[in-house]
Amino acid sequence: MAPATNRRQFLQKTAMAAAALYSSRFAGPQGTSIPDVDPGPLDKAELRNLTSQIAGRVITADGPEYEAARLVFNRAFNQRPALIVRCAGPQDVARALEFAQRRSLPVAVRGGGHSRAGFSMCNGGMVIDLSNMKRVEVDSRMHIARAEAGALVRHLDQATQLAGLATTAGGCPNVGIAGFTLGGGEGTLMSKFGAACDNLLSAHVVTVDGRQVDASPSSNADLFWALRGGGGNFGVVTSFEYRLYPVNEILSGTITYPAHREHLHAFAKFVAEAPDELNVFAELLPSANGLRFLIHLRYIGSPQPGNDLIRPLRGPLQPLDDNVRKMTYLESQSAGFIPAPFAHFQTNLLLPLLTEPAVEALMVAINDAPAQFRVLIVPLYGAISRVNINDTAFALRQPGFEVDMLGAWNTPAERDGAVRWIANLRDKLRPMARGTYVNQLGETSAQLVRDAYGPNYPRLAEIKRKYDPANVLRLNQNITPA
C-alpha cells in the first residue's frame, strides 16, 4: 500500500479529474492491508479464451458496461479493475478463480456491492461479480429459502413474504444477502430469530482450488462454522439456504424526539426490558430543525400487546412524531433506509452498556458534527445473544449496543473533516468498548479483525489455512492463514 500522504496526494489529483467520484481506494484512518496491483496489460487471446469458457460475461475497460459495473455503493471508492467476470453460475466462478490465480490478479468478490470498506471492487485485478445470480426459491412447506448469492435483501424478502414467511435480513433492501449473511447479518428479526448466519442451513461454495462443495452441519462442518460470520475469506459462496418463520402483519415505525441525553438513557432502560418480539434500534442525526433522536420499532405480533409495550416511549418522553402502525413485514422492510449511493466513512464498536460517559461522548460529538453524519445505536439482545460465542464464527454474542458512526461528504474538501470526526468519536468510545462488527466497518486492520472475532480468531485462521492457504481471497476483513 502506498504511504498515506502519497495516497492523499493521489486522491486529490483523482478528484480534480473525476467530477462525481472523489477517491480511489479509501483506506480509512487505520489504513488497509490491500495493495493496489497493476498486473500489466491482459493478453487479448487469453481474454478471448476466458470469455469462451464463461456462460456469463467478461467485462473489460473498453466495454460499454464497464463504467456502471465498477461502481459500488460507497462512492468513496473509485476503482478500476482489469476485468469483471459477471458469473452465471458456480462453473463460471471456478473458471474465473483459476484465471485470476494463473495471472496473479487480485480477486474481489461482489455480491450486492454494499461493503462499507469498498471490498467488492479493486484496482487492476479481477472482480467476480455475482449480481446476475439472484434467483430465490421458497419451499413454503419446509420453511426454507434457497437464494443465489447475487440476490439482494429485497429479493429474499419479496420471495419469502409471498408465502407469509421471513428470515432475518438487513434494513436496507439493496444490501446483498451474501456479504450480509457471511459477516453475521443483523436485522429487525434478530432479537426473535437470531442473526442471518444463525438461520443459515447450508451454503454452496466454490473453493479457490475450483472445487464445488456444500457446507452444512453434516458436510464440511468446519467451513460451515466459518461461513457463519467469517466473511468472504473461505471461498466464493454461490447460494445459501435459510430457515424461514411465519411473519405477517407487525407493528412497525419510528418515534422521533429532540436529541437529549434523557432520551438516550430512557432508550437504554427500555431496551433492558424489551422482549424478543420487540426489536428496537435508535439513530442520532441532523435535521433542518435541529438534532434528532429516532427510535425505530418492530413488534412481531398483534398490535395491542405491542402498543402496550411501547407506551413508556410515548407520552412521558413527549415525541415530536410517531408513525408506528400496523403493516406487513415486507412494507416495514421497504419503508426503511433506502439511500442512494454516497461517499462515506463508517466504523463501529460494541458497548456492553450505554453508560453515562458513553452518552456524554455521543452528545458532545453530535453537537460538533459535520453536516452529514449519522450514529446508529443497535442493541443486541434476545435470540442473537443466546447463541454460544463459539457456535459460529460471528462473535458478537454478549448483549450490548453496537454504535455505527457514519460521516458523509459531497466534495473532497469535506472528506477529511468527516473522517476526523468519526475517528475522534470512535477513539473516545473505544476504552468503553469490546468487539466490532465486520459488516459495518469501513476501515480495516489486523487488530480490528481480531477484535471482531475474539476467541474465534485462531480457529478461523486454521480454517483459512485449509481452504485458502495462499490468501487469494484477501479483499475483505481479512483472516490470515494460520
Ligand X SMILES: Cc1cc2nc3c(=O)[nH]c(=O)nc-3n(C[C@H](O)[C@H](O)[C@H](O)COP(=O)(O)OP(=O)(O)OC[C@H]3O[C@@H](n4cnc5c(N)ncnc54)[C@H](O)[C@@H]3O)c2cc1C
Q: Which residues bind ligand X (CB under 6 A)?
A: 73, 108-116, 119-120, 130, 149, 170-172, 175-176, 178-180, 182-183, 185-187, 231-232, 236-237, 339, 439-440, 475-476
Residue 478 CB, shortest distance to ligand X, in Å, is 9
Q: Which DSSP helix (H) or strand (E) runs through 271?
A: helix 261-273
Q: Phi then psi for 258, rounded to 5 degrees? A: -65, 155
Nearer to ligand X, 191 or 266 (CB): 191
Nearer to ligand X, 30 or 140 (CB): 30
Nearer to ligand X, 161 or 440 (CB): 440
Residue 333 CB, shortest distance to ligand X, in Å, is 10
Q: How far apart are CA 257 and CA 234, in angstroms?
A: 44
Edge-to-edge strand order for the sheet containing 212-215? 136-139, 144-148, 236-243, 200-206, 212-215
Residue 131 CB, shortest distance to ligand X, in Å, is 8
Nearer to ligand X, 113 or 407 (CB): 113
Residue 120 CB, shortest distance to ligand X, in Å, is 3
Residue 439 CB, shortest distance to ligand X, in Å, is 4
Nearer to ligand X, 206 or 313 (CB): 206
Nearer to ligand X, 166 or 266 (CB): 166
Burial class (CB in 10 A: 0-12, 13-18, 19+), 367: exposed
Burial class (CB in 10 A: 0-12, 13-18, 19+), 20: exposed
Beta bridge partners of residue 258, listed in sequence order: 292
DSSP reduced 3-state for 52: helix
Instruction: Please provide the size of the chain in residues.
Output: 482
Q: How far apart are CA 246 and CA 142, in angstroms?
A: 11
Nearer to ligand X, 157 or 186 (CB): 186
∠ CA 41-44-50, nearest 5°, is 110
Strand intervals (E) in 230-342: 236-243, 245-246, 249-258, 278-285, 292-299, 321-322, 325-328
Secondary structure letter of residue 219 according to DSSP: B
Cell reading at 105:
490478479
Nearer to ligand X, 259 or 408 (CB): 408
Residue 342 CB, shortest distance to ligand X, in Å, is 9
Residue 475 CB, shortest distance to ligand X, in Å, is 6
DSSP reduced 3-state for 409: strand
Residue 140 CB, shortest distance to ligand X, in Å, is 25
Residue 233 CB, shortest distance to ligand X, in Å, is 8
Q: How far apart are CA 184 and CA 140, in angstroms?
A: 24
Nearer to ligand X, 128 or 359 (CB): 128
Q: How far apart are CA 111 and CA 122, in angstroms?
A: 14
Beta bridge partners of residue 219, listed in sequence order: 216
Cell reading at 38:
497493476
Beta bridge partners of residue 253, listed in sequence order: 297
Q: How far apart are CA 417 and CA 370, in angstroms?
A: 7
Q: Using CA of residue 251, residue 254, residue 256, residue 261, what is the dihedral sign? A: positive
Q: What is the CA radius of gyration of the chain?
A: 22
Nearer to ligand X, 8 or 466 (CB): 466
Residue 264 CB, shortest distance to ligand X, in Å, is 21
Q: How far apart are CA 286 and CA 374, in angstroms?
A: 8
Residue 117 CB, shortest distance to ligand X, in Å, is 8
Nearer to ligand X, 266 or 396 (CB): 396
